[in-house]
Structure 1
Amino acid sequence: MEQIQLWTNLLGNLGFPIVLTGYLLLRFEKRIEILTEAISDLKNTCSNCFYQNNKQP
């Protein structure tokens, strides 16, 4: 119940666009972290493949 009052108070004081932006940033933060991790893993995998393909016998 307190969360509803908090969101209503924020909405009244700050305005809809600011509250919506804050909500979306908090909600998508975890997904952004997961994507960053996946990109890092892909970079490492590509680097390893490139290194193995260019080894001198």
Structure 2
Amino acid sequence: MFYPDAELMAARLGEHGAPCELQVWPGQVHAFQTAASSVPEAAHAVTMIVDFVERM
């Protein structure tokens, strides 16, 4: 249910030149990154978030 909003937000940010990367993680629940200490995919997602923030 959040996906269409995320797509729209990413498109609009891009239209205005704002840095944005929309990542889709099939099979994951909303906010799965909170389980980074026990779910490898969540830990990887958090690492990717940190990489994005550091590039900004």
> Would the TM-score normalized by the shorter structure come out above 0.5?
no
TM-score, normalising length from structure 2? 0.32
Larger Rg: 1
Q: 1 or 2, which has the higher helix percentage?
A: 1
TM-score, normalising length from structure 1? 0.31
